[in-house]
Structure 1
Amino acid sequence: MLLTGILIFNLYYLQISCFSTYHNKSNFNRIKFISVPPTRGTILDRNGIVLAFNKIIYQLEINLKQVENIDQTINELKDLLDFSEEDILFFEKEKKKSNYLNNVLIKSELTDIQYAKFFLNQYRFPGVSIKNYQRRYYPYGSDLAHVIGYISKISYSEFKNLKYKKEFLDYFKNQEIGKLGIEKFYEQKLHGNPGFKEVEINSRGKIIRQLRFFPPKSGKNITLTLDLNLQKYIKRLVSSMRAAVVVLDPRDGGILALVSNPSYDPNIFINGVSNKKYLKLIHDTNRPFINRVTQGIYPPASTIKPYIIISALNAGIINTNFFLFDPGWWKLPGSKKTYRDWKKWGHGYLNITKALEESADTFFYQVAYNMGIDRLSDWMKKFGYGKLTGIDLLEENTGIMPDREWKTKNVKQPWYQGDTISVGIGQGYWTATPIQISKALMTLVNNGLVRTPHLLSFIQDNNHATTYYNHPTYIQIGDSRAIFWDIVKNGMYGVANKSNGTAYKNFYDAPYKVAAKSGTAQVFSLQPYEIYDPEKVSEKFRDHKLMTAFAPFEKPSVCIVLILENGEEHISPGTIVRKILDYILLNHHN
C-alpha cells in the first residue's frame, strides 16, 4: 500500500504540478541529441612514420533559421572571402539537402587569409560561424594508395550492411568509412565509438544549453610491417612501368613493401571526387585503381618450377636422381604433338639442379606429364595457388589453379593431356597474383611451413594497450627435414650464382648470396613455326617479366616478387630486384 501511494503521488506531481513547466518548455524549446564523431586512429609504418592521420580543417557554416536574408549574406561573404562561382553552386546544393536543424556548409577548408578575414568581420554575420573538423590526410599520396586505401562518406548500401551487423549505432549520416585497403580492413579498429551531446534548443534551432555530454572513444592506432622508405624507393624504380612488387620477411610473413604501379592519390576521395575526375581514373587503360599485387592475375610462368619439383619429389613421382636428355623439344607420348623449349638447340642432359638453373621447359613437361593434373593441381593448391592468401586486404583475387572440374565448369570442355603440359611451365589456364607467388616462395624458404603474408604489426589503443598480429595456425607441407627442399633451393642458388644460371649476370658479383627464379609469361600463344619478337607486337601483347628471389641464402630475411607487365625488352627484372636487395641488405634497412 505504501509503495502504491508513493507511485500515485509521483504521477500526480509529474502530470499536474509540473505540467505547466514542461508544457512551456515544449512550446518554446526542445531536446536534441547531437552525435560527436570519434577521432579516427592513426596508421604508421614499422618505424613510427605517420602514413594516415587527421588534420584540423576550418569550414564556414550557416544556420538558415538564424539568418534573415540568406542571399544577401552569401553575396557579402562572397565579396569578403573571394568565393568562386563553384563555391556558390556548392552551397546551393548543400542548402537543398539541409534540414532546418542542421548548419549548412558554405565553404570547406578555409585558407588562413579567409579565416582571418571572417574572424575580424564575424559581427556582421549573425548565424554564420566557423567550425573546426577533422579530415583524413594521406601525406604520401599515391606511394601508398593500394596499401592504405582511403575513407569517404558512407553509402546507403554500406549503412544497410552496418545495420544488418548491428553496428550502425557507431555511425551517422555523412560520416566517413573505410573504402579500400587498411582503412577498410581494419575499419572497426580505426573508427572508434561516437559520443553525444544532449542539448536544449529553441524554436529557431539555436542551442540554449548543454544538458549532458558523453565523450566519444577514439579509434585505435595501427602500426604496419611496411617500411615507408623502402616503399618509396621501389616506387621510384618502377615509376614508368606497369609493375607489381612485394617484399616480405619470410621469418614472420610481415610485408616490408607492397608496390602497385601506376597508382592514384587517395586524398581526392576524402571530400568527394568530381565525376569527371573519377571517370578519367576508371577509364585509364593503365588501370591505376587495380592493386596489381593482390588483384593482378598473370600466368606465373617459370617461377613455379621449384614447387613442381618439390611436389613431384614429395609425391614420389620422381626421385633425386631423375634426369632426361633435352634436344630442344619434348614429344607428348602417344601423339605427334611436340612442345619446344625456350632454348632452340636444347640443354642436353638435365638433372633437377641443372633444369632449375637453366629453366629447361622440356624437363618440366615430362615431370608435369608424370604427375598428371590431379596431383599437380592438388600440390599447387597446398602452396596457395587458386586460393586467397589471407593477407589483411579485402581487395584480392584467387587467380585460377585449373583442374578437370574447373575446365568442365568454365570452358565446357574435358581436360586434355596437353593442358597439363602447359601447366607444367606455369602457362595455359593457370593464373596467379604476385602475393600468391610471394606466399609460395616464403613456404619454400621455410621448408614447407605455410605462413600468411600480412601488413599489420600491432594495434594500440589510447591507454597504450598493444595487440600484436595474430598468426593463423601454421600448416606444414611435406616433411620439413626432407632433402628435397635443399635440392630445390640449391637449384635456385645456381640460377643466380652459376654461369649457366638464367639470372647470373644480375647477381654474380653481389656481396651477399641470392637464390632466384625468373619467368616470362606469354600473353598470347605462338604457332610452332613462330618466333616471339617484342619489336613486332603491340605493347599489350608483350610478355610479362617475372622474378622471384630470396636472400641472404644461408639465413633468408627477404623474399621479393616482381612482375613487369608487358615489360620492355631493354628492362631486366633482375636489375630491379638486385637494386632492391642492395638497398635492404647493404644499407642496413632489414
Structure 2
Amino acid sequence: MRRRRQPLKNPEQELHAFRMRSLLAVLVVVCLTGLLGGRLFYLQVVQHEVYSTRSEKNRVRVEPLPPTRGLIYDRHGVLLAENRPTYNLTLVRERVADLDATLTLLVDLLEIPEEEIEAFRVRSRQRQRPFQPALLMSDLDEDQIARLAVNRHRLPGVEVEAQLLRYYPDAETMVHALGYVGRINAEELAGLDAGNYAGTHFIGKTGVERFYEDELHGQAGLRKVETNARGRVLRELGHTDPVPGKDLTLTLDSELQRLAVELLDGRRGSIVAIAPESGEILALASVPGFDSNQFVTGIDVASYRGLQEDLDLPLYNRAIRGHYPPGSTIKPFLALAGLAEGKITPNSTIRDPGYFQLPNDSRRYRNWLRWGHGRVDLERAIAVSNNTYFYTLAHDLGIDRIHENMSAFGFGQRVAHDVQGESDALMPSRDWKRGRFNQPWYPGETLSVGIGQGYWQLTPLQLATATAVLANRGEWVKPRLAQRIGQEEVPVELPDTPPDIMLENEGWWDRIFSGMEKVISGHEGTARRIGKDLEYRMAGKSGTAQVFSLGKDQKYNADEIQERLRDHALFTAFAPVEAPQIAVAVIVENAGGGSTHAAHLAKAMTDAWLLEDEAPDTEEVREVLEREDGRVTGN
C-alpha cells in the first residue's frame, strides 16, 4: 500500500495568518480598552456631578422639620386648641426588608383590634416621598412604648418619635365651632404641597381648623445630617428652622358658648349669638356634640359607628347645617317687606275671624288662636303672632316679592365669612319649584311661606344673622369667627358683604322694633313671661315650626304625638333695643312652642352678655322650663 505524501509547510502563509490574528486581537483589546476608558470618562467626568450628589446623599440626608401648629384662643385669651407632647409610631418602608412580617409583628405587639388592622396597613403606604416616615399610630401609651423598645432589634425602619399633638381642652362644647384635625389621608395627600407638609401627619378636617389651615400650619423647615452606611445619624451639618403657624384669636366667648350648651341641657338644638355692630360670632353651639380629641389620634371603628348610628346625630352641626322651617320668627321681616313694597302702612289693620281664605277657595287657613284676634294692626300682629294678618300680607306680596326681600336678609344663602361647611338652606321661589318638581307655584304655598312654613328652610346661623341685620337697621356686617390672625386684625368690612337694606322711611324700623318689644313686654305678647323684671329693652319674636303637617280641622296635641314629631321651638331676639349689643337665635327641636322653651334660653343668653355681674343660673332656667314645658301661648 502506497503512503500519501504530506504537503510542505508554507512559512510565509503561516506568518501572515499569525500577524492577522495578532492584529485582530490587538484591535479587540484596544476597542475594549477604549470602551472601558470612555465609560470611565463618562462616569468620572461627564456624570461627575450626578454621582457625586448620589454619593453625598448616601452620606448626607435632608430631614424635614415640621412646623408647630398655631394655637387657638377665644376673645378673652382662653386656650381652645393647644399642642401637647406625645409619641408617634412611624415606619420607613425602604428600610424594612419584609413589610408584611413587620406589620404583623407590630399588630401583635400593640394588640391592634381586628377591625382596625386593615386601616393600620393602609397607613403604612401613605407618604409623600421615598424614605419619608409614614405615621402608623399616634399617642402611644407607656406600655406600648416599652414593648416596642424591647423588640427594637426585630423592627428595622420602625421608630417612636416625640411630637406635638393637637388637644382640645373643652372638646364637646367647642367641637362644632372649632372643628378638629386628623391624619392626612391619601386624597388630601395628593393635593398638598409635598415640601411644606413633609414630616406633617395632621391636617384640619372641619371648622376653623380647616378654614384657616394655611395660617395655622406654618412653613416646614429642614436639617442636613451625616449618616453612616446603616443610616444612623452621625452629626448635623446644618438646618433651616421651621416657621410656626400663626395663633388664631376667635370672636367666640368660651363662657357664653359653654352657657349655650348647658342651657340646651342635652336637648337637640342650636344657639347662635352675634354682636350686630361688628359681626363677631359670640356663640355657635350645636347639641349634642362629641369628643373631637378622638378624631385627632384616630377614632376606633366601634366608637365611630356609635356616633354614626346615634339617633341624636352628634356629628351633625345643627348651627350651620340644620334645616328648619323658620315659623313665625320671620314675621317682622315680612312686615318690613310689606312696608317697603307699599302693601301695608304701619297703621294698616285687618279683622281676624280666626282664619284666612283665598278668593274663590273654600279652604280656611287658620290662625293659631282659633277664634281670632279681632282688629289687628302691624305692631299687634307681631306681638300676638297673628297668622291671618301675615296670610293676607303674603298673598298681597306674592312669592316673587317675598323671595327678593327675604334674600336681602341672607335667607337661602351662605352668610358668614369663615364658617366652613355652612349650608345655603332654602329660600323657595317660583323658579326653584319649577326646577325641582317641574310644577307651578300655587297661591296656597305663598300663604305657608308667609308664616314660615312650607318649603322655606333656614339654619340657626342664618336666623341669627338676619336678626343682627334687623338690629342694625338694615346695615350688613358679615358674621365671622376670626378676630385676629397672629397680630393682624380681621377687618369688620369683609369682601362679598351683601348690600345694606334701605327703607324709604327710617321710622319703619322703630315700628317693627316696637312690635317685637311687645312680644316680650306687652300684655298680649307671646313671650311676655320672660319680660318680667327685665333690666334692659329687648326685642324678640317667637316661632313654632311644624315637623309634620296637620290634616284639615285637625288640632295639634303634643301629648298624643311622638317626641320626635313634636314642633320645634324657635326664638330670635336682640338687645338692648336702643343700641343692640347681641342678637340671638335659638332652635330647640321637638320642644313645642317657641314662646316658652326657646324664649327663656334666649333671655338667659342676653342676660349673660349684658349683665356680667348677674350671670343666669342654669338650674333656675331648667326649673322654669320644667314648669312651662308644653304651655304654648302663641307662635
Counting only pairs closer than 5 Å after superposition, residues 57-68 of structure 1 correspond to structure 2 as 57-59=86-88
Return the TM-score normalized by structure 1: 0.86
**Alpha-carbon displacement from aligned partner over 1:157-199 (angstroms, at most 9, x marks no partner):** 223344xxxx453224762111100001111111111112233
What is the rounded CA distance, in whole Å, between the counterparts of 1:574 and 1:377 in structure 2?
27
Cα gap change, 1:76 to 1:263, in 2 (>3 Å): closer
Q: 1:484 aligns with which of 505, 508, 511?
A: 508
In the alignment, structure 1 residue 53 sits paired with structure 2 residue 82: yes
Q: Is the 8 A contact 1:457 1:469 kept in 2?
A: no
Counting only pairs closer than 5 Å after superposition, residues 567-578 of structure 1 correspond to structure 2 as 567=591, 572-578=597-603
What is the rounded CA distance, in whole Å, between the counterparts of 1:504 and 1:148 in structure 2?
36
**SS of corresponding position for 1:415:** coil
Return the TM-score normalized by structure 2: 0.81
Match for residue 266 of structure 1? 292
What is the rounded CA distance, in whole Å, between the counterparts of 1:317 and 1:197 in structure 2?
72
Match for residue 494 of structure 2? 471
**Alpha-carbon displacement from aligned partner over 1:252-277 (angstroms, at most 9, x marks no partner):** 11011110001111111112122222
In the alignment, structure 1 residue 41 sits paired with structure 2 residue 70: yes
Cα gap change, 1:124 to 1:415, in 2 (>3 Å): closer
Q: Is the 8 A contact 1:498 1:508 kept in 2?
A: no
What is the rounded CA distance, in whole Å, between the counterparts of 1:15 and 1:320 in structure 2?
94
Segment drifting more, 190-199 vs 353-362: 190-199
Matched residue count: 569
- Following superposition, the deviation at residue 59 of structure 1 comes to 4.2
Q: 1:341 aligns with which of 367, 374, 398?
A: 367
Cα gap change, 1:203 to 1:497, in 2 (>3 Å): same
Q: Is the 8 A contact 1:459 1:468 kept in 2?
A: no
- Following superposition, the deviation at residue 83 of structure 1 comes to 6.2
What is the rounded CA distance, in whole Å, between the counterparts of 1:408 and 1:207 in structure 2?
69
One-letter amino acid of the structure 2 residue matched with residue 386 of structure 1 = G
Match for residue 142 of structure 1? 172
- Following superposition, the deviation at residue 429 of structure 1 comes to 0.7
Match for residue 485 of structure 2? 459
Segment drifting more, 57-66 vs 561-570: 57-66
Match for residue 604 of structure 2? 579
What is the rounded CA distance, in whole Å, between the counterparts of 1:237 and 1:189 in structure 2?
34
What is the rounded CA distance, in whole Å, between the counterparts of 1:252 and 1:98 in structure 2?
44
Counting only pairs closer than 5 Å after superposition, residues 270-349 of structure 1 correspond to structure 2 as 270-349=296-375
**SS of corresponding position for 1:86:** coil
Match for residue 253 of structure 1? 279
Q: 1:239 aligns with which of 260, 265, 271?
A: 265
Counting only pairs closer than 5 Å after superposition, residues 18-417 of structure 1 correspond to structure 2 as 26=55, 29-59=58-88, 85-86=111-112, 93=121, 97=125, 101=131, 108-111=138-141, 130-162=160-192, 167-172=193-198, 175-417=201-443
- Structure 2: stretches of 5+ with no match in the other structure: 1-40, 616-635
- Following superposition, the deviation at residue 288 of structure 1 comes to 1.1
Cα gap change, 1:391 to 1:563, in 2 (>3 Å): farther
What is the rounded CA distance, in whole Å, between the counterparts of 2:52 and 2:306 in structure 1?
58
- Following superposition, the deviation at residue 201 of structure 1 comes to 3.4
- Following superposition, the deviation at residue 457 of structure 1 comes to 0.6
Match for residue 545 of structure 1? 569
Identity fraction in percent: 37
Match for residue 4 of structure 1? none
What is the rounded CA distance, in whole Å, between the counterparts of 1:567 and 1:266 in structure 2?
27
**SS of corresponding position for 1:53:** strand
Match for residue 432 of structure 1? 458
Match for residue 621 of structure 2? none
What is the rounded CA distance, in whole Å, between the counterparts of 1:513 and 1:269 in structure 2?
44
What is the rounded CA distance, in whole Å, between the counterparts of 1:452 and 1:128 in structure 2?
50
What is the rounded CA distance, in whole Å, between the counterparts of 1:171 and 1:107 in structure 2?
18
Q: 1:494 aligns with which of 512, 515, 518?
A: 518
What is the rounded CA distance, in whole Å, between the counterparts of 2:50 and 2:510 in structure 1?
87
Cα gap change, 1:87 to 1:204, in 2 (>3 Å): farther
**SS of corresponding position for 1:294:** helix
**SS of corresponding position for 1:170:** coil
**Alpha-carbon displacement from aligned partner over 1:515-561 (angstroms, at most 9, x marks no partner):** 11000001111112210011111122110100011111222111110
Give the RMSD, CA atoms, in angstroms: 3.7
**SS of corresponding position for 1:350:** strand
Cα gap change, 1:488 to 1:168, in 2 (>3 Å): farther
What is the rounded CA distance, in whole Å, between the counterparts of 2:197 and 2:73 in structure 1?
24
Cα gap change, 1:76 to 1:249, in 2 (>3 Å): closer
- Structure 1: stretches of 5+ with no match in the other structure: 1-11
Match for residue 35 of structure 2? none
One-letter amino acid of the structure 1 residue matched with residue 612 of structure 2 = N
Cα gap change, 1:105 to 1:291, in 2 (>3 Å): closer
**Alpha-carbon displacement from aligned partner over 1:232-255 (angstroms, at most 9, x marks no partner):** 122111132001100111111101
